[in-house]
Amino acid sequence: MIEAVNLCKQFDKIKAVDQVSVMIREGNVFGLVGTNGAGKSTIIRMLCGILRQDSGTIKIDGMEVYENIDAKKLFFYISDDQYFFANATPKDMKKYYSVVYPDFDSGRFTSMMKQFDLDENRKINTFSKGMKKQLSVICGICANTKYIFCDETFDGLDPVMRQAVKSIFAKEMSERNMTAIIASHNLRELEDICDHVGLLHRGGILLSKDLYDMKLSIHKVQCVFQNEVDINSIFEGTEVLKIDQRGSLYTITARGTEEEIHDRIRMSNPVFSEILPLTLEEIFISETEVVGYDVKKLIF
C-alpha cells in the first residue's frame, strides 16, 4: 500500500503541491487527473523519491521512499520525459534494468519488443516519441515490480497502441495484482482503466473517489409525468445534483441507488422513466459543480 499524508512541495514562490493525502491500495489503478501545472508530476516524483517533500509523509509498504533503495525496488517509474542512456539501444536498457530489478524478465522483453514491432538493436535516439513511450512501457512491465508510476504515459501513443497498453496493464493487474498510479490531464483516458480517481487543482486534491462507488451512488433518470410535479418534493431528503427540463421531459441527476431513484419516480405516476448511464465526465461535472467549480475548464 502507498500512503501519502499532507504532502507539500514549494518551488520558490510556487506552491506545486499543497496538503495532498492519498492512499493507494494494492491491485488498484489510481488515476491522478488535472490541468497542466496542477502538480501531478510533482506528486509522482515525490512518491518515487526523486523529489523530497517539504512536509508530510510518504510510505510505500510501510517504508519511507526518499533515498531508500529497498522501497525503490518496489516500483518502476515511466516519466513524461523518458530517460535513456545516450546512444543506448533497447538491448542496453534491458541489460541495465536486469541489474536494477532482480525480477526483470528478459525473455518477455524480447517477445514484447517483437509484438510491438520494435528493433532491440536500433539506437533509441532514432525512435519516434511514440516508440520511446512504447519502449518505456515494455521496460516497466518487464521489470515485474509491484507498483508502476506512469506520467502521461498514454500521451503520444496512437489509439490502437493506447488500447494495447491498457490491456497489457489490465492483464498485469489481474494476473499479478500490479498496482498502477497514472497521471493524466484527460479524464476520458482514465475512465476505462482506473478504480479510483483523484482530481487535482492548483496543487490540492479537489475530489478523490472510488469509481465503483461513484457510479453506484449517482444516477441520471429521464422521465415524463402525467401532471405537473415538484421535482424537489419527489426527491426530498436526497441530493438532486441537476435538473434539466425540456417541455415535459425531465432529466434528473441525483444521489441514490438505482432502486431508490426508481421508487421515488414511480410514486409520482410517470408516463415514462428510464435510468441513463452516466459517464465519469458527467459524474465529475456533477460532483464539482456542487462545490462551486466548473470542472469542464479544469480537465476537458
Cα atoms in the Cβ-side hemisphere of radius 13 Å centred on 201? 12
CB 131 within 8 A of CB 90: no
Run of H or E including 27: none
Segment interacting with ligand ATP, rule: CB under 6 A, options 10-18, 107-115, 130-138, 207-215 = 10-18
67 to 96, contacts with ligand ATP by CB under 6 A?
Answer: 80
Amino acid at 198: G
* Interface with ligand ATP, residue 153, by CB under 6 A: no
Closest distance to ligand ATP from the beta carbon of 2 (Å): 18
Cell of 248: 415535459
Phi, psi of 216 (to 5 degrees): -80, -25
* Interface with ligand ATP, residue 133, by CB under 6 A: no
Closest distance to ligand ATP from the beta carbon of 16 (Å): 3
Q: Which of 28, 41, 53, 273 binds ligand ATP (CB under 6 A)?
A: 41
Closest distance to ligand ATP from the beta carbon of 226 (Å): 51
Q: What angle (nearest 5°) sits at the alpha carbon of residue 8, between those of residues 64 and 143?
A: 45
Closest distance to ligand ATP from the beta carbon of 14 (Å): 5
Q: Which of 4, 22, 30, 39 binds ligand ATP (CB under 6 A)?
A: 39
* Interface with ligand ATP, residue 205, by CB under 6 A: no
In this structure, the dihedral spanned by the alpha carbons of residues 253, 287, 59 and 102, taken in order and rounded to 10 degrees, is 60
Q: Judging by DSSP bridges, how do beta strands 218-225 and 270-276 pair with one another?
A: antiparallel
- Binding interface with ligand ATP (CB under 6 A): 11, 14, 16, 34, 36-42, 80, 185
